Structure 1
Amino acid sequence: MRHLISIDDLTDDDLHYLVETSTRYAGADGAYGRPLEGDVVGVYFRRTSTRTRTAFSAGAQRLGARIVTFGPDDLQTNTGETSRDTGRVFARMLDVLVARTADDTAEMRGWAGQDRMAVINAMSAEEHPTQAIADLTTLACRFGRVEKLRVLYVGEGNNTAVAFALALSRFPGVELELRTPPGYGLPGDVLARARSHAERSGAAVLERHDMGELPADLNVVYTTRWQTTGTSKPDPSWRDAFAPFQVTTDLWRASPDAAFMHDLPAHRGEEVTAAVLDGPASIAFDQAANKMYSAMAVLDWCRRGVR
């Protein structure tokens, strides 16, 4: 049984296959086939979602599956049933469970401890793996490759940044530089894992906590929302620490051809100015569209493992 809980659950071949399949779906112009014909996909979101929930719901149906949706107040866990028992029931009725909990991944890994139903992490507090597949698909569609790209990530080392660093670091020649506010960088173990991947693949991963001496000739500038869904920051003055990390048009002086990426939703005037998000460099909404194709690739990959 194939599950996707973390990018690090994937082999290099798995990751490359998912990006290639997602890119193929993106260029298929509706000719997807129906590889999930007869499958039932559960879509369980305890936190808000626009892109990821729509991507998996629409993607599953485009591939021939039927979907069952659950909101945060729909299950008997609200009346005391254990998550383990809920997962055991899901596994006897569903072929795939797509879940967003915004908690750690332990619950999802518990659900994945069986051989009947695939489990897909549609975002946890720790990581957003399907976002990374969409991000790499966007790079492949824009540049024709992921290898040897120079990428600057600006902002918090959140769950999107975690998945992005763990995925991008596996591609040869990539240079990923993260500029994160002091105290808000990638978790230490994640940075170590990303650097280990980079050493093996011939990539480079750097992290600094200031905005001085920025690299030039970038291919991509990427940022994310400062307030990640389902989280809060304990420091009441956190905005002061984040303010220097706003993405403005000034970042394009040394990299005039760089594309701009954002996982959305965006808050114009906070992490990015409207001039950048709505400007000619922005491919953020192409990136959003690619979430459906990445969802389709992940669903197809999970189910092919049991056929």
Structure 2
Amino acid sequence: MTASGSQTRHPRPATPTQEDPVHHPRTRHLISIDDLTDDDLRTLVADGVAFNQAAQAAGRTGADRAAGPLQDQVVGIYFSKTSTRTRTAFSSGALRLGASLITYGPGDLQLNTGETSEDTGAVLSRMLDVLVARTAGDEAEMRAWASQRRMSVVNAMSAGEHPTQALTDLTTLSLRFGRLEGLRVLYVGEGNNSASALALALSRFPGTELELRTPPGYGLDPAYLARARAHAARSGASVRERHDMEDLPGGFDAIYTTRWQTTGTTKAEPHWRDVFAPFQVGARLWEASPKAVFLHDLPAHRGDEVTAEVLDGPHSIAFDQAENKMHSAMAVLKWCRAGGPAAPGE
């Protein structure tokens, strides 16, 4: 938190390429965790927790559709890469909030025939209220879509960052521990887009400690690591990274890993599995952290990044974490359209 009221923001807005006289003040984008103020981040986590608790109290997994805050709004779901949890979470979450859905596959948009991202965003913004997208590239395409001022754009995973996964992770930790401040998290595995988003998010909370153990040559992108450490210096958190499994401290609250083959990617190094082998998460890690919970963003490959004993064992809350993707998605959609439906004639 900042002394001035937690309003630190690190946006990188795109410049509109076309005149758009309609500016809906409720429109917000989530393309990077660094687009959020500290207050935004806390609000999104708190709302994810609240959606989970309301669902548990009601004995079901979502809100009544008819009463949803996105009633009469339309959410577009565009995934150019495979997805089970994130696509289902945003689709189900949007419906439970009262929205209607339009879904697009990787071959459906005229982007494939050469239409510019700016033109695609300008057109979709006149028909959709929110676009949730997963792409194989960096954030630039999503920021081009966000250069208009009508439609919210949500990054459901890009090459560099998976911000909605980080919100899910923080929601899950908050539900389990009742707080985020002071938590100690061990992340083991590739420094991929889930790891970068987790580092950017967790480092905002005072007293948190994130220990990253990543294989040599597969660490966190230096730019993301620098940004996370800047957050940590401001908030009183810590972010450390090493490329071995030696001298691990104990007493972690959570141990986290992701699959070795990040969705939609391959590894050029022929013997990469030999490099990753020492970073498998097994029961031995609980000897020094006996109370730690286990997190995994899924899908999991038992016998690769994690043993079946851990993933299916008593410490694992990975499938609760997966359910929380929907609760976090609902929080994101609500936040993006926080001002509610446009007034007639707006």
The bucket for the TM-score relative to the shorter chain is over 0.9
Identity rate, percent: 71
SS of match in other structure, 2:78: strand
Counterpart in the other structure of 1:203:
237
Matched residues in 1 for 2:141 and 2:242: separation? Answer: 33
Residues 79-94 of structure 1 mapped to structure 2, 5 A cutoff: 79-94=113-128
List runs of 5+ in structure 2 lacking aligned partners: 1-26, 56-61, 342-346
Counterpart selection for 1:37 from 71, 78, 81: 71
> Letter of the aligned partner of 2:285 in structure 1?
L
CA distance in 2, matches of 1:180, 1:79: 39
Of the structure 1 ranges 271-280 and 224-233, higher mean CA displacement relative to structure 2 is found in 224-233
User: What code does the residue aligned with 2:293 have?
Assistant: A
Tell me whether 1:5 sits opposite 2:39 in the alignment.
no
Corresponding residue for residue 129 of structure 1: 163
**1:28-67 correspondence to structure 2 within 5 Å:** 28-29=54-55, 30-31=62-63, 33-67=67-101
The DSSP-based 3-state class of the residue aligned with 1:27 is helix
Kindly provide the CA deviation profile for residues 198-248 of structure 1, in whole angstroms up to 9, marking residues without a partner as x: 111111111010001111111100000110111122211111111100000
Aligned partner of 1:178 in structure 2 is 212
Q: TM-score if structure 2 supplies the norm length? A: 0.87
Residues in 1 aligned to 2:319 and 2:137: alpha-carbon distance in whole angstroms: 27
Of 25, 44, 47 in structure 1, the residue corresponding to residue 51 of structure 2 is 25
Q: CA-to-partner distance for each residue in 1:78-129, whole Å, 9 max, x for gaps?
A: 2333332221110110000000012111000000001110000000001000
The answer as to whether partners of 2:63 and 2:97 remain within 8 angstroms in 1 is no
- The reply to whether residue 222 of structure 1 matches residue 246 of structure 2 is no
d(CA) in 2 for partners of 1:75 and 1:208?
42
Task: For 1:131-280, list aligned pairs within 5 A.
Answer: 131-280=165-314
What residue is the counterpart of 2:16 in the other structure? none
| Alpha-carbon contact 1:2-1:305 (below 8 Å) kept | no
Q: Helix, strand or coil: the match of 1:239?
A: helix
Distance 1:100 1:275 in 2: 32
> Structure 1 residue 104 and structure 2 residue 168: aligned?
no
1:21 and 1:217 mapped to 2: Cα distance?
29
Structure-1-length-normalised TM-score: 0.98
**Which residue does the alignment assign to 1:14?**
40
Counterpart-to-counterpart distance in 2, 1:193 and 1:290: 26
Gaps of 5+ in 1: none
* CA–CA distance in structure 2, aligned partners of residues 230 and 187 of structure 1: 18
More divergent stretch after superposition (76-85 vs 105-114): 76-85
Farther-moved stretch of structure 1 (233-242 vs 4-13)? 233-242
Q: Does the 8 Å CA contact 2:70/2:340 hold for their aligned counterparts?
A: no
Residue 291 in 1 paired to residue 330 in 2?
no
Distance 1:206 1:305, change over 3 A: farther
Counterpart of 2:124 in structure 1: which amino acid? Answer: F
Partner Cα separation in structure 2 for residue 262 and residue 48 of structure 1: 18
Structure 2 SS opposite 1:170? coil
Q: Which amino acid aligns with 1:231?
A: T
Question: For 1:95 and 1:242, how far apart are their aligned partners in 2?
Answer: 42
For the 8 Å contact 2:93–2:326, the answer to whether it is kept is: yes
For these two proteins, the number of residue pairs brought into alignment is: 307
Q: 1:189 deviation in Å?
A: 1.3
Alignment check: 8 A CA contact 2:69 2:340 kept:
no
Corresponding residue of 1:72: 106
Residues 167 and 328 in structure 2, CA contact (< 8 A), matched pair in contact too: yes
User: What amino acid is the match of 2:185?
Assistant: V
CA distance in 1, matches of 2:309, 2:108: 41
Counterpart amino acid of residue 248 in structure 1:
G
